[in-house]
């Protein structure tokens, strides 16, 4: 569990872990990232009550969400790791038991995830994420998650995921701009994921979230840098979905760039922009014809390699 300035929410997140009913021991590793509010104090109160379960790790200075997450991953010793950020919480007391039972019975899977609901912190309305409408009760039990369909639809959400700890390597964690979607793609290199058709958690939509408070331009840049890092790290053979994800992030980021920088980014030989016919119109509206010709030539070079 990673947290920063979550004094209003951290108790709910911790309680959601403590009320889990399991036939195995659990530990709650909390990466507290130098909060300026009472988050640290609240964690200490829980640690004093449950010293055998809660393992707090305090950063004296704020090191940022992903650096804190990677550092916290390294402190986890269990066979499985379950994720939950400090402003979200679990609602099913058998969440961990159900997911671990599945993983124990299906050793070829790298992770599993579930449905979740969204709590609007302003309206206090809780509703199930619309992405799960196709997985309504009685329609389908579970769904397979692969490298090819990770993004379509994107149903692997941090607060519901349980994965095998040993599958994530130090090399994976050292990759630049490592985020949750990078984590799932790393795991999917080792085995498929499974979506389990039950609702286990609540994702809190609030104005003070670590990610939500960042400007859209910063979000777009970080998404693109993550996509670019994934693009360079994973094999692209037969995975057009990863390429499309990269292209989508690239276009979104370019909306915030000056024209000369936009052309430089879109002109890189490894974008494959002109290769996908459905994007030709969008490409032509952004890139000058000379740049498109350059991309085509570079594309031919890459296809011949």
- Determine the structural domain holding residue 52 and report its residue range: 2-205
pLDDT tens-digit readout, 45-64: 999 999 999 999 999 999 99
pLDDT in tens, 135-158: 555 444 578 999 988 987 788 999
Question: pLDDT tier at 80 (50, 70, 90 boundaries)?
Answer: very high
Rounded to 10 degrees, what is the CA torsion of 11, 126, 121, 90?
A: 20
Please report the pLDDT score of residue 141 as a whole number: 59
Q: Are 271 and 247 in contact (CB under 8 A)?
A: yes
Same domain as 183, residue 287: no
Judge whether 210 lies within some domain: no
Same domain, 221 and 160: no
For 66, residues 6+ apart whose C-beta sits below 8 A from its C-beta are 177, 178, 179
Rounded mean pLDDT, 20-39: 98
Residue that finishes a domain, picked among 180, 205, 230: 205
Q: Decide which of 183, 205, 227 is a domain's last residue.
A: 205
Dihedral over Cα of 284, 269, 177, 73: its sign: positive
Looking at the structure, tell me whether residues 291 and 179 fall in a common domain: no
Q: pTM value?
A: 0.82
- The number of C-alpha atoms within 13 Å of 152 and in the hemisphere containing its C-beta is 9
Phi-psi region of 64 (alpha: psi -120 to 50; beta: other; left: phi over 0): left
* pLDDT tens-digit series, residues 9-19: 999 999 999 99
Give the pair of three-digit tokens for residue 165: 């700890």
Residues 196, 60, single domain; the answer is yes
Residue 138 lies in a domain: yes
Give the pLDDT confidence score for residue 302 in this predicted structure: 38
Let me know whether 63 and 170 are in one domain. Answer: yes
User: What does the block give as tokens for 133?
Assistant: 């409408």
Dig out the tokens for 228 from the structure: 């670019």
Residue 71's CATH number:
3.90.550.10
Q: Find, among 24, 155, 11, 32, the residue nearest to 89 by Cα.
A: 11
């Amino acid at each position: 569990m990673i947290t920063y300035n979550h004094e209003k929410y951290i108790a709910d997140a911790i309680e959601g872990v403590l009320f889990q009913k399991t036939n195995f021991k659990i530990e709650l590793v909390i990466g507290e990232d130098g909060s300026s509010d009472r988050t640290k104090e609240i964690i200490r109160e829980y640690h004093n009550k449950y010293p055998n379960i809660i393992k707090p790790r305090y950063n004296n200075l704020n090191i940022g969400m992903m650096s804190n997450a990677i550092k916290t991953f390294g402190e986890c010793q269990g066979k499985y790791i379950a994720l939950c950020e400090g402003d979200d919480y679990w609602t099913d007391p058998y969440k961990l038991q159900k997911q671990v039972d599945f993983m124990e019975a299906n050793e070829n899977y790298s992770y599993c995830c579930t449905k979740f609901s969204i709590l609007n912190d302003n309206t206090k309305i809780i509703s199930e994420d619309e992405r799960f409408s196709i997985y309504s009760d009685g329609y389908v039990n579970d769904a397979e998650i692969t490298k090819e369909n990770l993004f379509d639809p994107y149903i692997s959400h941090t607060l519901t995921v349980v994965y095998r700890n040993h599958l994530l390597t130090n090399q994976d964690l050292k990759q630049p701009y490592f985020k949750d979607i990078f984590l799932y793609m790393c795991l999917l290199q080792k085995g498929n994921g499974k979506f389990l058709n039950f609702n286990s958690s609540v994702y809190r939509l609030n104005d003070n979230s670590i990610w939500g408070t960042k400007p859209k331009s910063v979000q777009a840049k970080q998404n693109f840098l993550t996509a670019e890092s994934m693009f360079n790290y994973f094999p692209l053979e037969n995975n057009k979905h990863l390429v499309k994800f990269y292209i989508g992030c690239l276009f979104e980021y370019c909306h915030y760039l000056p024209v000369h920088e936009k052309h430089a980014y879109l002109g890189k030989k490894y974008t494959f922009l002109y290769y996908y016919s459905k994007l030709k119109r969008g490409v032509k509206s952004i890139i000058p014809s000379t740049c498109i010709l350059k991309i085509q030539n570079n594309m031919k070079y890459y296809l011949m390699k």
